[in-house]
Structure 1
Amino acid sequence: MSDSNENARAGRSHGNLSRRRLLQGTAGAFGAALASAGIYELIDSIAKPPDRPAAGADSPPVQEQYILQNEQVVMVDGSGVKSSNGTIAVRVPALHDHVITARLNVSANAKALQEAQHHLESALLDVERRFPPTPTGVATTVAWGLPYFHHYIPTLGKASGFFKAGTRYPEYLPVDLATSKTEGHTVYALQEARTFPSDQSPPGFGPVRLEQNDVAVLLRSDSLANIKAAQNVLFGSGSNQAGSLFKVTSIRYGFSGGGFYGQQGLPSKLALAANIPGAQSIPRQAQGFLGFATTLDSNMGPGNIANLETLPGLTDQWPNGYFKQGTTMHLSHLFQDLVTWYEQNFPQYADRVQAMLQPGLSPAPAPGTLALQPPGQSEAEVAQGVQRYHAYGHTGSMSQVDSTTSPTTSNYGKAYPTGTTIPVRGDFDTLDNPFHYTSDPTADHYSEKKAAGLHFIQFQPTIAIFNRVRLSMDGHYPDMTLPIAPRSPHAGINSVLHTTHRQNYLVPPRRHRSFPLAEFLV
């Protein structure tokens, strides 16, 4: 490990925590953290907002909370710059991404939960009246963890068109029909988070923390002022705000893009501003710290394909499930070791391309935007690559596991060709270490020293799909395991990632986003 990496690890030491941060669990510390965005305040002054098409004034929000409405898709050339003759389609993400996780500050009874349901929905509608649910306004996604359902919704007391009276947890959750059939017992679309073969936290950090939050709120916007205003409505302490409903456990800030218009991207600018080891090696216009675009259109599920009910036979939510038009969400945090990536394991651009995509590629010498075209590598082709090159690539290892394996017509009549990606990514780079704010700095190993990281978010119909894709990233497939250690430099990008936290969530449709199922309690 280099001296620079040792210094970064040392900055995570509890002995370096200031008294102010050690007291972060207090209301005053939370309020200060909510009001200040720290280094992220720079973004609106150093990045040009994307030139997005105007949203229709009369266009109502879609039921799918996870879909970023009015998202721009641009064609880029090999350098990643928007170009009239570019050949690669890239979705332009929001500049700012904030996630706030919380446990509930609500009594576990029908009256309290139903009042909380109305209170939160009123606050969310207030945000939507002030800002369109797009990147030029504020896009809001409310997701619920298994602890919420387990503790607050033990039994449904009322019958409905969806459930029988007396339905108990977890029987009202969406059923993963495909996995249930394979495993021979009922498996739900939402499952507890697990660890994976390559999961490894930094030295001294401890094991990966599998979180138990009740709720997570994702806010996306090109404007920090808009996000701050939305956060104040949802988590502020005034009488017309919803903050009294929550005990916030973390605030997670981050960013993406900024370099699609020939400008220096946010990853390069902010990493240099924060003196992150290895920052000088980040390509100038890179969308992410590792130098590659993460929102390639071909690698993002189109339309509503990630819904619980869209693809036939995946879940029981078609045609009339309570959670129809919802999805599942995985949220995790991991550190990215830029020194090892750029200077030690993969010092040449071609090395990084082969680690990120697949071995054997011969890219142009200058860093640029690259993509594996659908349907990507099959499992057999990945194995053949290992035999020939003694390595596999990150994207190549997952490219067919996360996609349709044959031409598929959705329940809505949409035809998807073989190789259509199913999950939708929403991850973003961060300088949090690991979070901007935590209510438990000891357990979360909080440090004020900035570090290159990623708040990883992915939406997919079932958590089983996420688990299967994530295992393939480690070379583990249902019928074989690649003969490469999962943290080897020959295993894609795994050797430069250090995971710290994971949790899975259910994202209801917009109509049920506020305390789902509380209306059926008695």
Structure 2
Amino acid sequence: MPSSDWSRRDVLKAAVATGSTAALAACLDLEPDKRPLRGSPASKPARQHAWNDHVRADNHGNVELPRHQTLLYLSLDRDGQPTESDRETVERALAVLDEAYEWSSDGLLFSVAYSPAYFERFDSALSGVDLPQPEPLSPFEDPVFDTQDVLVHLASDRADVVLEAEHALTGGNDEANGVGVDAALIDVLSVDSRRTGFVGAGMPAEHQDAAGIPGSKPVPEKSPLFMGFTAGFRENQATEDYVTIQSGPFAGGTTKVVSNLRQRLDDWYGEQNYDERVMELFSPGHAADGFVEGVGNNLGANSRVDDYVDDVEDHAHEHGRVGHAQKAARANRDSDGNVRVLRRHFESTDDIGSDRAVASLHFPSLQREISTFEDVRRAMNGTDVTEVTPAVRQRVNNGLLEYIFVRRRGYFLVPPRALRALPEPSP
């Protein structure tokens, strides 16, 4: 890849991570004459999570998520319930984005979600939605729980759009793509945490100079993720219809879990050879049958993990290890074989260790009920497999558990668009 392309990518990724006014100016300076298309508020889908038909797809129909993403965690500035004035302010702030940007990965995709702590501000209970407080989901994790009131998720292939939209919401500029800003979220909410990330072929390889990744720079250029393989195969993802709440006042919405995982990949690349990495990510059967080539793009639209869901114990005995995907898939299918969870994860180097950035993964997951995510997460633990053979231990030879560590997790309701502005629990 030409060095000029690397330099441009560096500027864009660094600008989103920094988030400053100067960073936004640097993004705009790169392509001053290529502004995104304006949006049509009336044409926006009723579902905030309706992204799949509005992003790029590969030759197999696999969704390619927007390359630049930002998560804003915010808390209401008042005690108790929000007022109607608060709701009007939030809706006006969000309406700017509706008008300013086309609903696409070339424009802006975004959603606003609410935590259990937000709904506890009200006297009445949340109606028709499974949204408990987060808790540890394994005996070996101790995450910090995100209990801020609101989560805003911004995503675009354009770094300038993500930054400009963020600045519009947080009072940093008075217009967005030519649309005047007359209200900001920070008029009624405070930003508690800002987290950014990236995904897509080339970006992890470019930004692998991070704690947790060997200095040999092993991440392949074609990989969309730090672990060196593609993900999000169309036939192994829940559909947006499937994860949509079907009844009650929040019908048309969904629930969202966002976890942050630190990655320690020195042993992943240093101690495991390619076949062993295939075994621990997919399944030992994938390696034995030679299904995976390179980063796995040859698999097309289906990872074929369902071929090996029933072989977990046999693989543990025969190969002394089991795969991450085959363990999770045991709980990620309903009685009709439908996939239950829609994953939209992306990488990050936001956090800084003692002297440099730290590799981590932001893992948004959509499902009708939070309990679905919890079922899949517990299946991924593979605690039952440790009883099959001493070769498989809780964090060794047990999928990816040796390499990923949960640092944060939050639970949220993503209401339908009509209820996106500080909703009541029983609207």
TM-score bracket for the superposition, by shorter chain length: 0.7 to 0.9
Say if 1:377 and 1:399, in contact at 8 Å, map to a contact too. no
- CA drift of 1:231 comes to 0.9
2:296 equivalent to 1:368: yes
1:326-475 equivalent positions in 2, closer than 5 A: 326-344=253-271, 346=272, 348-360=273-285, 361-362=287-288, 363=290, 366-369=294-297, 370=299, 371-373=302-304, 375-378=306-309, 380-406=310-336, 418=337, 420-433=338-351, 449-475=356-382
1:487 aligns with 2:418: no
Kindly provide the amino acid, as one letter, of the partner of residue 462 in structure 1. Answer: E
- Secondary structure, counterpart of 2:208 in structure 1: helix
CA 1:400–1:67: 2 relative to 1, 3 Å: farther
1:107 Cα deviation (Å)?
4.4
Instruction: State the 1:299 CA deviation.
Output: 2.1
Q: Distance in 2 between matches of 1:397 and 1:58?
A: 42
The normalised TM-score by structure 1 is 0.68
**1:61–1:327: structure 2 CA closer, same or farther, 3 Å change rule?**
same
Q: Is the 8 A contact 1:123 1:242 kept in 2?
A: yes
8 A contact 1:123–1:241 mirrored in 2: yes
Superposed CA deviations along residues 48-72 of structure 1, whole A, max 9, x for unmatched, are: x9xxxx9997971212212214122
Structure 1 residue 452: deviation in Å? 0.9
CA separation in 1, counterparts of 2:169 and 2:259?
A: 22
Contact 2:68 2:158 (8 Å CA) reproduced: yes
Give the superposition deviation at 1:355. 0.5
Residue 34 (structure 1) shift: 3.9
User: Contact (CA 8 Å) 2:127, 2:426: kept in 1 or not?
Assistant: no
Q: Does the CA-based 8 Å contact 1:383-1:482 persist in structure 2?
A: yes
- 2:20 match: 35
Cα drift, residue 449 of structure 1? 2.6
Aligned position for 1:64: 47
1:305 maps to 2:242: yes
Q: In the alignment, what sits opposite 1:291? A: 228
Aligned residues: 389
Structure 2 residue 122 is matched with structure 1 residue 197: no
Deviations 1:165-201 (A, max 9, x none): xxx22xx3325xxxxxxxxxxxxx111212233754x
1:253 aligns with 2:180: no
Greater Cα offset, 331-340 or 454-463: 331-340
Residue 503 of structure 1 aligns to a residue whose secondary structure is: strand
Counterpart amino acid of residue 395 in structure 2: R
Identical-pair percentage = 23
Q: For residues 315 and 30 of structure 2, what CA distance do their matches in structure 1 show?
A: 45
2:116 equivalent to 1:146: yes
Is 1:212 the counterpart of 2:147? The answer is: yes
Query: Who is 2:128 aligned against?
Result: 174
* CA positional deviation for 1:376: 4.0
Closer/same/farther in 2, CA of residues 480 and 349 from structure 1, 3 Å limit: closer
Q: How many Å separate the matches in 2 of 1:341 and 1:45?
A: 37
Preserved contact between residue 349 and residue 367 of structure 1 (Cα < 8 Å): no
Judging by fraction of residues, say which structure has more helix: 2
Q: Does residue 135 of the first structure (1) align with residue 105 of the second (2)? A: yes
Deviation per CA, 1:14-49, whole angstroms, max 9, x where unpaired?
xxxxxxxxxxxxxxxxxx95426979x899979xx9
Q: What are the superposed Cα offsets for residues 320-345 of structure 1, whole Å, 9 maximum, x if unpaired?
A: x110011111111111112121012x
| Structure 2: tracts of 5 or more residues without a match | 1-16, 175-181
Query: How far did residue 277 of structure 1 move?
Result: 3.3
The one-letter code sitting in structure 1 at the alignment partner of 2:361 is: L
Note closer, same or farther for the CA distance 1:368–1:352 as it changes in structure 2 (3 Å cut): same
Cα RMSD for the two superposed structures: 3.2
Between the aligned partners of 1:104 and 1:505, the Cα distance in structure 2 is 15
Alpha-carbon distance between aligned partners in 1 of 2:344 and 2:192, rounded to the nearest angstrom: 21
Partners of 1:376 and 1:400 within 8 A in 2: no
CA distance in 1, matches of 2:284, 2:145: 33
Kept in 2: contact 1:120–1:234 (CA 8 A): no
Corresponding residue of 1:165: none
Q: 2:78 aligns with which of 106, 109, 118?
A: 106
CA distance in 2, matches of 1:38, 1:495: 36
Is the contact made by 2:89 and 2:187 (CA closer than 8 Å) also made in structure 1?
A: no
Are residues 115 and 405 of structure 1, via their aligned partners in 2, closer, same or farther at CA, if it must alter by over 3 Å?
same
Structure 2 contact 214–270 (Cα < 8 Å) conserved:
no
TM-score for the superposition, normalised by structure 2: 0.82
CA deviation after TM superposition for structure 1 residue 375, in Å:
3.7
> CA 1:36–1:429 in 2, change beyond 3 Å: closer, same or farther?
farther
Residue 11 of structure 1 is matched in structure 2 by: none
CA contact (8 A) 1:74 1:91 kept: yes
Q: CA deviation at 1:368?
A: 3.3
In 1: Cα distance, 2:211 partner to 2:319 partner: 37
The answer to whether the Cα contact below 8 Å between 2:212 and 2:266 also exists between their aligned partners in 1 is: no
Q: Distance in 2 between matches of 1:62 and 1:365?
A: 38
Q: CA 1:296–1:36 in 2, change beyond 3 Å: closer, same or farther?
A: farther
Q: Distance in 2 between the 1:44 and 1:491 partners?
A: 47
